Amino acid sequence: MSIHDTALTAGHYFDWGVISVSVTNLSIIIAMIVVFVLAILLPFPHARQDDDLERQDRP
């Protein structure tokens, strides 16, 4: 088996018509989409209520 043959059989691919993507790249893309959706849906961290009350009392 030559280096050229190894490079041709090295990965697994999904083929959708003219789109061909490797399993590794597809899993990275899906992970990035999941992180993006979580970043939108999860609330930002905020100060505790005690800190908010102290800030309101200050002039």
Residue-wise DSSP of 31-49 = HHHHHHHHHHHSPPP---H
CA-derived radius of gyration, the chain: 24
Q: CB neighbours (10 Å) of residue 22?
A: 13
Q: What is the pLDDT along the chain (59 residues), one digit of tens a residue?
A: 555 565 566 688 888 889 899 999 999 999 999 999 999 998 877 766 655 555 665 55
Every domain of the chain and the residues it spans: 3-43
Q: What was the pLDDT predicted at 28?
A: 96
pLDDT at 5: 60
Please tell me the distance from the alpha carbon of residue 25 to that of residue 13, in angstroms, as a whole number. 9
Token readout for 6 is 């190894």
Q: What's the confidence (pLDDT) of residue 29?
A: 96
